[in-house]
Amino acid sequence: MMQHSCRSALCAFAAFSLLPTVFCGTNSPLYAQAAQSATSSDHAQIADVLRGLNRGRMIGQVAVSPDGKRIAWIDPEREKAEIRVAPVDDLAASLRVTAAAKPDQHCEESEPAWAPDSASLAFFSDCAAPGAQADLYLSRLDAKPVRRLTALNGYVHEAAFSPDGKKIAFLYVEGATRPAGALAAMKPWSGVMGEDNIEVQRVAVASVDAAQPAAPEQVTPATLHVYEFDWRPDSNGLAYIAGDPPGENNWWVAKLYTQPLGSAPQAILAPPEVAGPLHGLQIAVPRWSPDGKVIAFIGGLMSDQGSTGGDVWVVSAAGSVPRDITQGRPTSPAWVEWQDNEHLFVTELAGGNSQLIRYRLSGDRTGDGPVTFGSPIFSIPGSVGDGRMRMSLSATADHSMFIFTASTLDRAPEIYGAKPGTVMTSGLEGVMQLSHLNEGVEPAWGKSVSLSWKSDAFRVQGWLLLPKDYDPAKKYPLIVEVHGGPAAAVMSRWGAGGGLSPGAFSALGYFVLQPNPRGSFGQGEAFTQANRKDFGYGDLRDILAGVDAVEVKYPIDPNRVGITGWSYGGFMTMFAVTQTQRFKAAVSGAGLSDWLSYYGENSIDQWMIPYFGASVYDDPAVYAKSSAINYIKQAHTPTLVVVGDRDGECPAPQSFEFWHALRDEHVPTQLVVYPNEGHGFASPAHRRDVMERAVDWFAHYMPATQ
């Protein structure tokens, strides 16, 4: 992920700077100052560690053909990402599928989607406009040329064939200047706020038999921003989750719509208005039953679009009171797919494990018919997915086999298969390994351990990375990394090399604790909702109890414990250093310090109402209670603060405010602002610079060796 460094710095020596640092190149005075302070061996060690983090080959989206005979996947390791297709039982015999006219032409290609008859593959490619616009292409997987189906101008993703194979639908933002969603860098502010320059994501449809590339038909209204969709089983309609524009803000109040093609949409479920436990919560992953009578979806408290978790709900396709079929189940479903009209396949996060379960709905599916849950088809202490959605799997038409990639902190990613009805054991040993792309690849970091500990009424789970070359006779420092969200979860996953990398810290001699405190997915909806109106209190107790648990089991130096995190983890870092002196150093990424001012600054204020219970104007006290800035006099921990200048989720003024306050309180601090970056950093150089600065910060205030 990270290829170039703009700075190899020992930031601690600039910690008392009176001005924020704007990210700059190696010719900057700050770089020269830091370079003089650091030794050549320091720089070489950090560079070697960062290079080693991304060992092994990554695997992009995978898709099994409906007949189960072939697999398509994205190989991102080439000059540009390309599509490979191979027989299921011999992935080494793969062939390239591309829109390129010549063998030496390289195009960026993505999102392979199989036709229902398994004879064709659709995908996006920039061959017509290299490095710029992606279009939709169709390959018959024979000697005939690949056909370009569309002439697009904008952002596209999530292609899906209609069940009859005649059409392909996809999400399309015509004229887009940035990807949809709040993670990308916001456009520079100009014009009438909330009215000008709004881009709307709609469902577009292209004909498989198009004679010439053409603009697609946009079938959903320009007044609705669509986030996810599913074809109606008869191919003549859609179900989709949509909200009013602007799309980056209104997913949290989105509704479920059905729409016959060529007709107006009908809202059949509106969580902002519905009574009961779904009131005011979020919905995702709509899926029609094969008979077209019922729609299943995930509903629950979710803090970010795409980070899906909650309960499985069903509702009549004609509209009805929604039914929660997993109420009280101590897991977090993330993805659903119907097998037939009575059975659903569901992926769940259960503690630290990813598992696939088959549910059975008997009798009245949307009423009071019984629901039974089968034993796990697989349960893996790691991460699984096919690259489309969180924990989604690719299935054959008869659901006799599921294909996905899986990895753990200890095992590099490979392509696996699972067959319902087969006796399988727990872990990756219990599923069929189909690829061997990373045979013999070992992690650059230390061993991982799943831990659990008691905190209040909860049993909290988290992941612990041991230092590389761990020696139990030595004392070690500990870094706590708090995940974003808060409705998310740390999962055991290969590739610990991006952002604030736990793998880098482990490789450099630190223990790294990644807790899943209350508010996280993995232990049911009640656990996810347990931090409502309580940010920074119960969740911080969970984190500190985790530190206690690690210190009991491992040789941790209590005078060398630090904390870091991004987004919600950045907030928790800021808040933690105002509540406890436990941490000796902190690095806050894209955090927020003042919930009251944040409410009026960010571009996604709709997410806050379900968590705080009211707007800041109706109940400012609940926002003030969790604002780190109100407790700044209690902060003494040296804190590095980093943020993108065009972050819409956690705007840069929140970081400025915290840095300014720490500076005035004479707490060692530094603020680094990265140009043209949003909430998720796009530049590999910037991501690497963040990691180098974090490593240097912790090395100065709590070194790995003493």
**What is the mean pLDDT of each successive set of 10 residues along the chain, which is 706 residues long?**
28 33 39 40 68 83 98 88 95 93 89 97 94 93 91 95 98 85 74 80 96 95 97 98 94 97 97 94 98 98 96 96 97 98 98 96 95 95 96 98 96 95 73 94 94 97 97 97 96 76 93 98 98 97 98 98 97 98 97 96 92 97 98 98 93 96 98 94 90 94 88
List the one residue out of 256, 359, 274, 277 whose CA is nearest residue 321: 274
Closest C-alpha to 464, from 456, 476, 474:
476
Round to whole Å and give the CA distance between 540 and 575. 9
What is the pLDDT at residue 375? 92
The Cα–Cα gap between 162 and 169 comes to: 7
Contact 451, 459 (CB under 8 A): no
Q: Residue 218: what residue type? A: Q
The confidence score (pLDDT) of residue 30 equals 35
- What crossing angle do the helices spanning 568-579 and 538-553 adopt, rounded to 10°? 80
Secondary structure of 148-187 as H, E, C letters: ECECCCEEEEEEEECCCCCEEEEEEEECCCCCCCCCCCCC
| pLDDT for the residue 287 | 98
pLDDT attached to residue 428: 80
Nearest to 113 by CA among 170, 152, 155: 170
Instruction: Give SS3 for 553.
Output: helix
